[in-house]
Every structure is written in C-alpha cells, then in structure tokens.
Amino acid sequence: MVAIKELPRDEYIELGHAACAGCGATIAIRHALKALGGNTILTVPACCMSVIQGLFPKNALHLPVLNTAFETAGAAASGIAAGLKFMGKDKDINVMAWAGDGGTYDIGIQALSGAAERKTNFIYTCYNNESYGNTGQQRSGATPYGAFSTTTPIIGKQEHRKPMARIMAEHGIPYTASISAAYPRLVFETYSKAKDIVGTRFIEIHAMCPTGWRCATWDSVKFGKLAVETGVWIMWEKEGEEWRFLGRSKQIAEGKVQRKPVMDYLKPQGRFRTLIKDSKKVKEFERGIEREWDILKQKVSC
C-alpha cells in the first residue's frame, strides 16, 4: 500500500469547494484524481458533485468537466470516449464519469449498462452515499434496508439495496471494484490500477455522508471504516475473471479478524433510529448482508 507521503502532491480539487464537512465523496475524488492525473476529462451528472465543484463563475475542479443531465453519465462519457477515439487521443486522455448512487442505481442505469455493453473505454465511478444527497436525502436504490429517508420518513426503507457493483461485474467488463472513501490510499491504488486497463471500469466507492447519515461530521471516517469492519460494506475487486476481497474485507473473509457487531455501525447513525428499535428488522438487515457475503465468497473461491 502506498505511503501517505508518497501520494502525489498534485491537487485537482481545490480548497474552497462546497462540500459539507466530513464529506466522503470529496475525500474520494481528491484521491481518485491524484491517481488519474491532469490528463483526464470528467463528466458529472446531477448529484452532490454538481454542487461541490462550486458556483459559477468559479470551479474547484482543476480539470475539464462536462456537467450533464442526471440520467446521462454513461452516455455522455460514451460520446467523449468516441470523440477522443476519432481524434486518436483515446490512449492519452482518461475519461471518467463521476456519479452518485441515484445517478447510477436508479435514473442512470440504462446509459451505464449500455456503455458497458459497448465496451466503452472509460472509468465510471459511483460514489455511494446511500441516498439523494443533492435534493435532501430521498431514498435511492442504494439506500440500506430500514434506513430513514425523506421519502421513507416514518417506516424506513422496506427494500434492500441493489448489488450494483456485482451487476456491473456481470456485464463482463475488465475491471470492477467496490471500495470505501474511508481508505483513501486504497482509493488511490484502485484508480492507479484502473487507469492502465482498457475498456469499461466500474468503481463504486462507499462515501460517508454525515448530512444524510445523521452522524457527527468529525466521525465521518470512523463510520466509513465501521461499515467495512462490521461487514455491512464489502470491499472487493474483479479483475478479468478473478474476484478478490480487498483490505479489511479480505482479512474478514480469511478469518483473520472478526466482524464487529452490526449494531456498532447502526446505533450511532440517526438514519437507523427506527430500524434498531425492531429486532426483526435488524435481523432482516443482517440477512441482506449475509446474503451478499455468501455470494461474494463463492465468487472469490471459484
């Protein structure tokens, strides 16, 4: 793992951006761009990153950025990739779509799936803060079972999240990863690796969101890590046909460390306040997690 002092000093997201304090998505893009470098074109659909980059006429991102409509990240990137190919520059310039979970799991899945099926040469990042942050925390297809959102305000969400990264891996793309913004060096390494692969690369980053998760901003990284340490979020990658667990999730899978109790993660977050009062629901939450572990363990071992 790269040492912190070896991380490139270049910054492609400047101070003065408009993210909330403790925003995981911002930690993630900072380290992803350090790996990709300045020869990168970004396309960003409607999401928190539309806001984080700052208000016109300024912009905190030090790269060309095409802001695009909410449902279009995969398609807009397809156009950029095609144009670069036409100009013969597709080998020199990275194309990255940077979308939220709403723009990926929900409204943007069609454009993303199409781009992957066409083997479009680009990196698609889904930073997953598990709700619609931009519009004030409505539920998404990524919102965990039982979590509060402003469109599931009383009972909590009644469905489990989609296994989005697995869905993308099953498109047969050359690289898929599921990581977390709580481990910035892993973010850097994942993008460093993805950069040199040709074809569609899908990277999902679990992105702490104190505003939506209803937890203290200064505990943001702690909660990102707790998600992994409790096994609620699983870090893995699929390179070619090979599936591997990553980081702490690897240690858990290999039995080297024990998973912490799920309650350690759920209890302090306001969004799970109703869920934790109902032991049946907590069981159902845990069942969803176990199911994902079982499926991934099979993938990794075969």
Ligand X SMILES: Cc1ncc(C[n+]2csc(CCOP(=O)(O)OP(=O)(O)O)c2C)c(N)n1
At 188, phi and psi to the nearest 5?
A: -60, -45
Distance set, CA 196 to CA 35, 82, 93, 123, 186 (Å): 11, 18, 11, 11, 16
Query: Least distance (Å) from ligand X to the CB of residue 134?
Result: 3
| Contact partner, 20, from ligand SF4, another protein, Mg ion, none, Cβ < 5-8 Å per class | ligand SF4
Segment interacting with ligand X, rule: CB under 6 A, options 10-18, 124-132, 156-164, 262-270? 124-132
Examine residue 101 and tell whether it contacts ligand X (CB under 6 A).
Answer: yes
Examine residue 231 and tell whether it contacts ligand X (CB under 6 A).
Answer: no
Please, which residue, 36 or 109, has the CB nearer to another protein? 109
**Pick from 33, 41, 48, 262: which binds ligand X (CB under 6 A)?**
48
- Build a one-symbol-per-residue string for 25-54: x at contacts with another protein by CB under 8 A, - elsewhere: ---------------------x---x----
In this structure, how many other beta carbons lie within 10 angstroms of the beta carbon of residue 113? 14
Interface residues with Mg ion (CB under 5 A)? 100-101, 129, 133
Please, which residue, 139 or 201, has the CB nearer to ligand X? 139
**Pick from 12, 98, 122, 132: which binds ligand X (CB under 6 A)?**
132
Contact 66, 78 (CB under 8 A): no
Please, which residue, 139 or 281, has the CB nearer to ligand X? 139
Examine residue 56 and tell whether it contacts another protein (CB under 8 A).
Answer: yes
Residue type for position 24: G
**Pick from 22, 24, 74, 133: which binds ligand X (CB under 6 A)?**
133
Question: How far, rounded to the nearest angstrom, does the alpha carbon of residue 198 sit from its chain's CA centroid?
Answer: 20
